[in-house]
A and B are shown apart, each in its own frame.
Chain A
């Protein structure tokens, strides 16, 4: 690779890359993000390569393993350029047909297309699918266009032009002004204006400053940062370098959580490539500006997503937060001014520089500008990553993009903001999504996890779940968090086990108040949010658990019993054979009965009972009907009766 020494050379190289690629040459891009890989994308990629070779098309067709386009529900996702035909749930067996039909004959394979569940219409292009149509994909749309391991692909879509513009046409102050004007707010959860943070560091007297990428995406159910870092690592590097230029930093770190090995690989490749081209390192593009980036892997601690804890971990110590009397943009890593922003925040920076703050602020609400990527998961038809303008309603995200709740179930709540967020009930579905709006509703934006819950989800259990998560993750440094969470969890666990007492709910609220007021860092301060928001919107569920020992969602194990409806049981022996506890009595033509004494409530019987019988059900808050007498258990089949 040749080093690029000026913006002109960069443009020349870009033109060269573009002229090398023939836009009419078919390109098969297969999502190689973690979700699709888990559904078998690796085998599909291998099958494409083998088939292309077998059919002698190696020079005529390109294949690309790309980043995540977002539609994980229907993975593995394959897009065929230049027609942009989108095939979903592709299996290795489909590959020969795709090659012979679509690549050779230019014919669409109908059965692999998206079918609209309501209209039955098929969608050929990505942009025709409702899941994509209702999004505003400023950031994530690049993922499926580039090979995540190729800097040339990134240059072909205009990569590093923002960096060249900044280094040669803008002063650091102008960059700062532009970012401030865009009102870009931190995407990691806090929503702090990035421009103000940068300015603080820039003005700090200490000459050595640092810029950091927070890729310690610990919220369970959130994976948008990983998708960006895996799929388009250069966009983050470019944003980071621009930030470094604006504040006068020459050293940056990317803190990636250990659970994201592919992101670490891809970002390391990206750094090496950028260094070889002279887009990182000494004298970038011949501008005289030096900047180096190192990757630091986390070792599995949720609290390290917190800014000061992350910096402590970077220093090679146990990641414990410190009080923030002085903000870390003044005294941060190794006691020096440090700007820490989340992956998605950095990814927005090149776009703001290239297209201008005015372009950016056209999306969103008055106080929350731009787009935000959410990971839409849980009880939702279209699981995946969705990028939407701020200000869209929760209802639009869940129903228009997410396709509603599967299985004909009823929506109950949507949880946003991870363990620090809260649950938003149906009556607030028309809430506009923005930093301040979500906080007002008792939740928060967080990093952008959006977990949809239906009628089968117990809200007391959800609150217990998050506190149970946090008790492992609390670093233990301050008492209100360490002990407060423990006590709240103890009471909640008792409630879910039917041991709740009168006054427990009030006691929980009191403990929550102390943890919020007295904890050292955001982990403890926000830990009670899931509890408080569920008490606020679903108090009746708490009361049912405490007073009636009943779980309305039929979810809490200690409060439910499994029962086989004798009028529906067809004595098929399936549950009887599968029951791991041998708790089901019966036999051929003998109606099955669950021995409640032996039953471990594992739920196998309800899982395996054929849907057309639907004989197993769950009971809560009432006694289990007495088993039918032995002599009445012989099954009389209706067909034989006649």
Chain B
């Protein structure tokens, strides 16, 4: 991520220290993770110590300090999905990808996360890959869906 772009984002938020979270969110959404150089730059421009930036980047779940895979898999483990069998979907995804929630595989193909509710409870259990929602999942259907992603 180039310095100029980081500066632009900081400018957009008027360079205020209180907008730190908003700046980080924007970098995360553009870049899918927070590279160290970007954090250094923010620290310098907003006059916030790097320790505090890291405190925030690890406190909130939206941020990642490591690169993400090509396909972001989100398994909804909200209550409605849970009672409809989400744990089995999560198990299946873990078995197939070999990674646990919060991890990315070695060849950067999949990143796996659990989410607490996508609000499509009528379709539960729900799986989301790269923002596309798949509803009424079962273990074998999950395997079918993941096959489509290379």
Report chain B residues within 8 Å CB of A314.
Answer: 18
CA distance in complex: A259, B61 (Å): 11
Question: Does chain A have a CB within 8 A of B139?
Answer: yes
Assembly CA distance A221 to B115 (angstroms)? 11
B107 smallest CB distance to A (angstroms)? 21
Check B9 for interface membership: any CB of A closer than 8 A. Answer: no
For residue B82, CB closer than 8 A to chain A, the reply is: yes
Does any Cβ of A come within 8 Å of B24's Cβ? yes
Interface string of B110-146 (1 = CB under 8 A from A): 0000011111111110100000010100111001000
B47 CB within 8 Å of chain A: no
**Which chain A residues border B116 with CB–CB below 8 Å?**
218, 220, 302, 469
Contact with B along A260-279 (1 / 0, CB 8 A): 10000000000000000000
A421 to chain B, nearest CB (A): 10
Which chain A residues lie closer than 8 Å to B124 at the CB level? 377
Q: Is the CB of A220 within 8 A of B140?
A: no
Partner of A38, one of B16, B120, B138, B143: B120
Question: How far, in whole Å, are A608 and B24 apart by their CA atoms in the complex?
Answer: 45
- For the complex formed, measure the closest distance between the CB of A33 and the CB atoms of chain B, giving whole angstroms: 8
Please state if B18 and A221 are interface contacts (CB–CB under 8 Å): no
Residues of B within 8 A of A475 (CB): 59
| B79 x A451 contact (CB < 8 A) | yes
Binds B, one of A14-22, A155-163, A292-300, A533-541: A292-300
Q: Judge if B66 is at the interface, Cβ distance under 8 Å.
A: no
Tell which of B62, B91, B118, B123 touches A602, judged by Cβ atoms closer than 8 Å: B91
By the criterion CB–CB under 8 Å, are B83 and A602 in contact? no
- Interface size of B in residues (CB-CB distance below 8 Å): 48
With a CB–CB cut-off of 8 A, which chain A residues contact B63? 299-300
Map CB proximity to B onto A365-401 as digits: 1 under 8 Å, 0 otherwise: 0000000000101110001100000000000000000
Q: Bound state CA distance, A302 and B92, in angstroms?
A: 26
Say if the beta carbon of A318 comes within 8 Å of chain B: yes
Tell me whether B140 and A38 are in contact (CB under 8 A): no
Would A316 and B20 be within 8 Å (CB), given that A35-B121, A38-B118 are in contact? yes
Whether A383 pairs with B121 at a CB distance below 8 angstroms is yes
Kindly identify, within residues 76 to 113 of chain B, every residue whose CB is under 8 Å from any CB belonging to chain A. 77-80, 82-85, 87-88, 91-92, 95-96
Chain B residues closer than 8 Å to A379, beta-carbon distance: 83-84
On whether A258 and B138 interact (CB within 8 A), knowing A301-B61, A318-B55, the answer reads no
| A300 and B61 alpha carbons, distance in the complex (Å) | 5
Closest-CB distance, A308 to chain B (whole angstroms): 15
Given contacts A35-B119, A38-B120, contact A220 B80 (CB under 8 A): yes
CB proximity of B98 to chain A, nearest CB, Å: 13
- Find out whether the CB atom of B59 lies under 8 angstroms from the CB atom of A451: no
The verdict on A449 contacting B79 (CB below 8 Å), with A34-B120, A35-B120 known, is yes
* Chain B residues positioned under 8 Å from A218 (CB to CB): 116
Quick check: B22 and A220 within 8 Å, CB to CB?
no
The smallest beta-carbon distance between B49 and chain A, in angstroms, is 12
> What is the bound-complex CA distance between A313 and B117, given in angstroms?
21
Q: B-side binding surface: helix, strand, loop or mixed?
A: helix
Beta-carbon contact of B83 and A317 below 8 Å: no
Name the B residues within 8 Å of A349 (CB-CB). Answer: none
Given contacts A378-B79, A449-B79, A603-B88, contact A221 B143 (CB under 8 A): no
- Whether B139 and A316, one on each chain, are in contact in the complex, defined by CB atoms closer than 8 angstroms, is no
Most A-side CB within 10 Å, residue of B19, B91, B96: B91
Please tell me if the beta carbons of A315 and B121 are within 8 angstroms of each other in the complex: no
Q: How far is the CA of A544 from the CA of B138 in the complex (A)?
A: 28
Q: CA A497 – CA B121 in complex, angstroms?
A: 28
- A330 CB to closest chain B CB (Å) equals 21
B140 touches A607 (CB 8 A): yes
Q: Tell whether A190 is near chain B: CB-to-CB under 8 Å.
A: no
- Contacts A377-B80, A378-B80, A578-B140 given: A226-B119 contact, CB under 8 Å? yes
B50 within 8 A of partner (CB): no
Flag A393-417 by CB within 8 Å of B: 1 or 0 each.
Answer: 0000000000000000000000100
User: Is B21 an interface position by the 8 A CB rule?
Assistant: yes
Q: Is A319 an interface residue (CB 8 A)?
A: yes
With a cutoff of 8 Å between Cβ atoms, the chain A residues found around residue B20 in the complex are 316
Q: How far is the CB of B24 from chain A (nearest CB, A)?
A: 7
Interface membership of B1, Cβ < 8 A: no
Task: Find out whether the CB atom of B62 lies under 8 angstroms from the CB atom of A34.
Answer: no
**Quick one: which of B59, B87, B133 contacts A318, CB cutoff 8 A?**
B59
Q: Which residues of A contact B77 (CB under 8 A)?
A: 220
Q: Is the CB of B117 within 8 A of A299?
A: no
Q: Is the CB–CB distance between B115 and A462 below 8 Å?
A: no
Known: A34-B119, A383-B122. A299 touches B91 (CB 8 A): no
Q: Residues of B contacting A315 with CB < 8 Å?
A: 18
The verdict on A453 contacting chain B, using a C-beta distance below 8 Å, is yes
Whether A72 is near chain B, meaning CB under 8 Å from some CB there, is: yes
Residue A55 CB within 8 A of the other chain = no
Chain B residues lying within 8 Å of A221, measured Cβ to Cβ, are: 78-80, 117, 121
Cα-based distance from A300 to B119 in the complex (angstroms): 15
Which residue, of B25, B120, B124, has the highest number of chain A Cβ atoms within 10 A? Answer: B120
Taking the complex as formed, is A526 at the interface, i.e. its CB lies under 8 A from any CB of chain B? no
The listed residue (A299, A378, A462, A578) touching B121 by CB distance below 8 A is: A378
| A434 sits at the interface (CB 8 A) | no
Q: In the assembled complex, which residues on chain B have CB atoms less than 8 Å from the CB atom of A317? A: 52, 56
A602 touches B126 (CB 8 A): no
Is there a chain B Cβ closer than 8 Å to A81's Cβ? no
- CB of A73 within 8 A of CB of B79, answer no
Contacts of B17 in A (CB 8 A): 316
A465 at the interface (CB under 8 A from B): yes
- Does the CB pair A580–B139 fall under 8 Å? yes
Pull 16 A–B residue pairs with CB atoms less than 8 Å apart, ordered by A.
Answer: A34-B120, A37-B133, A38-B133, A39-B120, A220-B80, A220-B82, A226-B119, A298-B60, A299-B56, A299-B60, A301-B59, A316-B20, A318-B59, A465-B82, A604-B140, A607-B138
5 other A-B residue contacts (CB within 8 Å) besides A38-B126, A315-B18: A38-B135, A220-B78, A299-B61, A378-B80, A580-B143
Interface residue ranges, A against B (CB under 8 Å): 34-35, 37-39, 72-73, 75, 218-223, 226, 258-260, 296-302, 313-319, 375, 377-379, 383-384, 415, 418, 449, 451, 453, 457, 462, 465-466, 469, 475, 557, 578, 580, 600, 602-604, 607-608
